[in-house]
Amino acid sequence: MRRFTLAAAAITALGLGSVAIAQHAPGHGAGHGAHGRPQAAPAAAQSPATRAFMAVNEKMHRDMNITYTGVADRDFVAGMIPHHQGAIDMARVVLQHGTDPEVRALAESIIRDQEREIAQMRAILARLPAR
């Protein structure tokens, strides 16, 4: 049985759960491997942007694997900090590799907004009790 992660909770909370689940469900198109997870092209066929996005994604999910305290407010904020950092890191990848002016402007906006929210969440963590 799969563990319900903070990432899945965040996707569901955003109302995107059914879309994400449908895209990653087993048997939904070519390029999906075990457990319906998308498989990347062989390393030789991957673009530098793809490799960068994959590295960012791996780091974000690893960092989101927090130790839960049982304090919902604290656990939410602690898990969302690496989630927001992942968004910043993905935005930086598109600034390095992307060319569409609208996407680049969106990436710049995401960096500004997520950095502000991370600062807010760190301040919240500093004032919330650990248990």
Q: Is the four-CA dihedral 35, 50, 62, 122 of positive or negative sign?
A: negative
Quote the DSSP letter at residue 27. Answer: T
- How far is it, in rounded angstroms, from Cα 119 to Cα 116? 5
Beta bridge mates, 126: none
- How far is it, in rounded angstroms, from Cα 123 to Cα 131? 17
Give the per-residue pLDDT at 17.
40
Q: Taking residues 116-127, what's their average pLDDT?
A: 97
pLDDT tens digits, one per residue of 49-82: 999 999 999 999 999 999 999 999 999 999 999 9
Judged on CB neighbours under 10 Å (0-12, 13-18, 19+), 117 is: middle
pLDDT tens digits, one per residue of 5-58: 444 444 444 443 433 434 444 444 445 555 555 666 666 679 999 999 999 999
Asked if pLDDT for residue 130 goes beyond 60, the answer is: yes
pTM of the model: 0.67
CA dist 28 to 36, 89, 95, Å? 7, 28, 31
